[in-house]
Amino acid sequence: MPRTILVADDDPHIRQLLVFALAKAGLDTIEAEDGEAALAAVEAHAPDLVVLDINMPRMDGIEVCRRLRGLNGECGDVPILFLSSRDDEIDRVLGIELGADDYVTKPFSPREVVARIMAILRRTAGHPPVVADATAPLKHGRLMLDSDGWQASWAGAPVPLTVTEFGILRTLAAMPSKVFSREAIIDRLHGPGFAVTDRTIDSHVRNLRGKFARAGAEDVIETRAGIGYRLGACSAG
């Protein structure tokens, strides 16, 4: 079945560029010209991914992301790729902490956007490059990751994660004694040479820690200064 991508941007030229590039990649598209239309389109059509411009009329992309992540069910978990007209680290970090999966700054190459979308969709489909041959649940202390269902739980209670957050945690849990550099995590998630900054990984890890802290877990991810991250003991809480 073709995947459906919602392209939400107030610039019709950008929408046209992305719709054309996505169609060439075999993806169906829906368009929205502002934030309110984007929210309505997600609830009406349940797209597989949302390309979301930050600076839109009637409701900006940050607020759309916040509202989507507040929804229950598949609509609340839909992967989000942000577009921004400026390389503003505050916007980027805020978007990621709200649950966005990736971020592209304008002007951009449509081919790069399509590549990032395809990488997210591969993870959503349950075929990430992390440990693609292992579908059995990963258990470590009180942490359990259901690789087939892309569900995380702590002491039996579900912890909602975005696709990227789950991918990072699954990377660490697949080799719990290994310390992964940020570059290694990026390679496991996207493949070698993918342009994601170290700060983006740090933001996702901070978001993961916050979600598990709210579930009573304080030792899910361990930082090794100057090296990277590894899975923690997963016993506290």
Residues 96, 38, single domain; the answer is: yes
120, 143: one domain? no
CB atoms within 10 A of CB 84: 20
State how beta strands 49-53 and 102-105 pair. unpaired
Residues 94 and 171 in one domain: no
Examine the fold and report which residue of 93, 124, 155 is the final residue of a domain before the chain moves on.
Answer: 124
**Residue 110 shares a structural domain with residue 219:** no
Q: Do 40 and 120 fall within a single domain? A: yes
The answer to whether 237 and 216 have CB atoms below 8 angstroms apart is yes
Q: What is d(CA 61, CA 55) in angstroms, rounded to the nearest whole number? A: 6
Same domain, 45 and 156: no
Do 30 and 111 have their domain in common? yes
Residues 96 and 160 in one domain: no
What is the value of pTM for the model shown?
Answer: 0.59
Q: What is the full per-residue pLDDT of the chain (237 aa) written as tens digits?
A: 678 999 999 999 999 999 999 998 889 999 999 999 999 999 999 999 999 998 898 898 889 998 888 876 667 888 999 988 765 665 666 667 777 888 888 888 888 899 889 888 887 665 443 433 345 688 899 999 987 777 899 998 999 888 888 889 988 998 888 888 888 887 777 665 555 566 778 888 998 999 999 988 888 999 988 889 999 988 865
Q: Are residues 45 and 103 in the same domain?
A: yes
CATH of residue 38: 3.40.50.2300
**Does residue 133 sit within a domain?**
no
